[in-house]
Chains A and B, each alone.
Chain A
Amino acid sequence: MKKIRRSPVITGLLFLLAVVLLFAGGVGGTQAALQVYSENYYSALNMKHLGITLYENGVRESFRDYGETAAAGFTEKQDGGLFLKHLGDDPYLQIGKKYPFVITTINTGSIDEYLRVSVYKYWVNVRTGETLDEKGWFHGLSDYTDKLTDIYYDPSLIHLGYGGSEGYNSSAWIKDGNASTAEREVYYYVGTKSPNEETEPLFDTLWIDPKVAKSAVVSTETVGGKLVTTYTYTYDGYGFVVQVESDAIQTHHARAAIRSGWGMQDEGILSQMKTPTE
């Protein structure tokens, strides 16, 4: 018996047998399926696809819709421009005035979706040569701006609100406090949206805090015997930016999909989103 155990030939044979068994295990399942379904088998595949469209004030700002086949790929308009029709009749942005900023998303795919919106707010140094519209706005993503990251340019002075005050529509959206900072806010929609359904607004107003006009460098100098005080405003010549990203994910195996696809592990939020437990 000891000879048999120590024999390298026997060991090799056993290993080969193990390999064959492993492969045979996979092949066997396939064979079984073929045996059962190959006779008189007809299939009609309806390929499902996801799509999402971001709206601001009823304007279709950006979208990414997949086609019905893999070969069809997807159609999209990314890096859309916000604030295309904001000022109305105002000739310039009025600091402190609340402007309409109604953010919604529509499921433009063919299956139900869970939805997420991430909002980024920050200040930029707009270089000369930038493309501004006739009222001083710039739209879309571009590389002509430098993000201002020092503490003097405060994202919290860019306000987003709903229902007349700062905040969001908490009856339809959940804010992920752990993922949010002064510069980035992450919101999850409560429940799912079916194809062609639009979400309730996440926000409906935007305004710039009057404090931007209250932050200045004060210098004094004597000119012609007179003391001259000059206020140089910190935010003068700089731009505020709001960036909105909307995401959609499948509802099948929703919790696993959200955990994997979006990296969101908060069980409390998953429950509030009404994702089914596994």
Chain B
Amino acid sequence: MNKRTLILAVLAVVLVLCSGIGSTVAYFTTYSNARGGYVIHLGGRTEIEEKISNNRKTVQIFNRAETDDDIGQHPVFVRVKAFTDSDGTLDYSANTSGLWQQGENGYWYYQKAITAGTDAKPEGALTDPAFIVDVKLNRALKEGEYLDVIVVHESVPAIFKGDGSPDLATAWSTGDITVVNP
């Protein structure tokens, strides 16, 4: 087979292949898309505010916003626990609102989430009503003696059930925390 014959043969093959191009087809398609998202805010910077009057300690927890963008965000649940020594007995019976309920390990749990606020915009950032601890002395104190009543508080990110009701049990199950190191 000489060179010219080879070229002609190749050309013939190409022409035959070209004759099939016309059968290539395209299909009707269309599309649309959308996207959205939300920034998650977890944890809060909670502060305790205490007032003492007539052997009664009133305690409120404030969720302080670090920036204006945090206002209304960072929802947390809080709990408190009070201690004293054997000279006193603590009475919690004044907490009748139902929003403070006693739970495990001597903690009292606030039943709603509080969100971050500022002094100028404190709405939703303060536990309301305050937690009340009445102190009864087991003996008369001498001049210069005093009785320590210590209240501690903790907070965790608020978690809710599918219907939107607070899920305190899940939120406070701190044993579930997964420690990561990003």
Would B31 and A245 count as touching, CB distance under 8 A? yes
Q: Is A187 an interface residue (CB 8 A)?
A: no
CA gap between A260 and B178 in the complex, in Å: 45
Would B182 and A96 count as touching, CB distance under 8 A? no
Would B27 and A82 count as touching, CB distance under 8 A? no
Q: Mark A35-67, 1 if CB is under 8 A from B, else 0.
A: 000000000000011111110100001111110
Would A141 and B178 count as touching, CB distance under 8 A? no
How big is chain B's contact interface, by range? Answer: 35 or more
Contacts A8-B4, A18-B12, A138-B37 given: A246-B32 contact, CB under 8 Å? yes
Would A241 and B32 count as touching, CB distance under 8 A? no
CA gap between A173 and B87 in the complex, in Å: 70
Q: Is B36 an interface residue (CB 8 A)?
A: yes
CA gap between A93 and B113 in the complex, in Å: 12
Would B160 and A137 count as touching, CB distance under 8 A? no
Q: Mark B64-105, 1 if CB is under 8 A from A, else 0.
A: 000000001101000000000000000000000000000000
Q: Is B143 an interface residue (CB 8 A)?
A: no
Chain B nearest CB, measured from A213 CB (Å): 4
Q: Is B46 an interface residue (CB 8 A)?
A: no
Would B34 and A61 count as touching, CB distance under 8 A? yes
Q: Mark B142-168, 1 if CB is under 8 A from A, else 0.
A: 000000000000001111111110010
Would A260 and B42 count as touching, CB distance under 8 A? no
Residues of A within 8 A of B38 (CB): 83, 93, 136-138, 239-240
Would A239 and B40 count as touching, CB distance under 8 A? yes
A residues apposed to B, CB below 8 Å: 8, 11-12, 15, 18-19, 22, 25-26, 48-54, 56, 61-66, 74, 76-84, 90-98, 109, 111, 124, 126, 132, 136-141, 145, 150, 152, 207-208, 210-218, 231-250, 253, 256-257, 260-262
> Would you give 11 A-B contacts (Cβ < 8 Å), ordered by A?
A18-B12, A50-B28, A52-B30, A52-B32, A82-B35, A83-B38, A124-B37, A136-B38, A140-B34, A210-B159, A247-B29
B residues apposed to A, CB below 8 Å: 4-5, 8, 11-12, 15-16, 19, 22, 25, 27-43, 72-73, 75, 115, 124, 156-164, 167, 170-171, 176-182
